[in-house]
Amino acid sequence: MASDPSQDVTMQPPPAPDARTSEEPLHGGFTRFEIELEFVQSLANPFYLNHLASQKLLSQPAFVAYLSYLQYWTRPPYLKYLTYPGPTLRHLELLQQERFRQDIISPDLVQKLVEDEMKAAVDWHREA
C-alpha cells in the first residue's frame, strides 16, 4: 500500500519536562512526553513486543513509522528519563528491522530475550 506524501506528517519530539510550558495540551491528564515515555519504556518487555506482534501492529506502516519517530529517546535530553535504558533502547533498535518485527511473534525469541536480559542483570550486579 503506497503512502500519499501529501498526508505525511512530520512530528517533532515533545518538549523535555524542564522545557514544558503550562500551555502544553494534556491527553487523558498526561502530557505527550509522559505518554510517549511510558510507551517507549514498555518496549523493554519482550512479552509486550510479542503482544504487539500478535495484534499485527508491527506490520502496519503507520506503527512502524511511529517506532522510527521514537528514536529521539536515544539522544539527550530524553535518554536520561528512561528507567531501563539498556533493554528499552536495544528493543527500539531491533524494532527498526523488519525481520525482528516478524520474528518476535515466536515464543522462542521472546524467551531468548528474557534470558539475555536476566543474564545482563546478573552480570551487572556481579560487576558492581
Q: pLDDT tens for the chain, 128 residues: list them.
A: 445 554 566 778 888 776 555 677 888 989 999 999 999 999 999 999 999 999 999 999 999 999 999 999 999 999 999 999 999 999 999 999 999 999 999 999 999 999 998 888 787 778 87
In a domain, 16, yes or no: no
In a domain, 100, yes or no: yes
In a domain, 112, yes or no: yes
pTM: 0.82
Domain of 47, in residue numbers: 29-127
In a domain, 1, yes or no: no
How far apart CA 30 and CA 82 sit, in angstroms, is 17
Number of folded domains in the chain? 1
In a domain, 3, yes or no: no
Q: Which CATH number do you get for residue 98?
A: 1.10.10.1340
In a domain, 92, yes or no: yes
In a domain, 101, yes or no: yes
In a domain, 118, yes or no: yes
- In DSSP terms, 30 is beta-bridged to 27
* Contact predicate 94/119, CB 8 Å: no
How many helices (H) does the chain have, and how many strands (E)?
6, 0
